[in-house]
Amino acid sequence: MAGNSTEYIKHHLTNLTYGNHPENGWGFAHTAQEAAEMGFNAIHVDTMGWSIFLGLVFCFLFRLAAVRATSGVPGGLQNLVEVVVDFVHTNVKDTYHGKSKLIAPLALTIFVWIFLMNLMDLVPVDFLPEIAKMIGVSVFGADPHAVFFKVVPTTDVNATLGMGISVFILIVFYSIRMKGVGGFAKELTFQPFNTIWLVWFNFLLEGVALIAKPISLALRLFGNMYAGELLFILIALLPWYLQWTLSVPWAIFHILIITLQAFVFMMLTIVYMSMASESHDH
Residues taking part in catalysis: 216, 220, 224
Q: Cα–chain-centroid distance for residue 120?
A: 12
The helix (H) or strand (E) run that includes residue 25 is strand 25-28
Burial of 197 (0-12, 13-18, 19+ CB in 10 A): exposed
Coil/strand/helix, residue 247: helix
Please state the φ and ψ torsions of residue 27, each to the nearest 5 degrees: 160, -175
Residues 6+ apart with CB under 8 A from 234: 9
- The torsion region of residue 25 among left (phi > 0), alpha (psi -120 to 50) and beta comes to left
The C-alpha angle with vertex 220 and arms to 217 and 222, in degrees rounded to 5, equals 105
Please, what sign has the CA dihedral across residues 160, 163, 166, 170? negative
The rounded distance, in Å, linking the Cα atoms of 211 and 159 is: 17
Q: Which long-range contacts (CB under 8 A, 24 or more apart) does 249-257 make?
A: 251/122, 254/121, 254/122, 254/228, 255/122, 257/118, 257/224, 257/225, 257/228
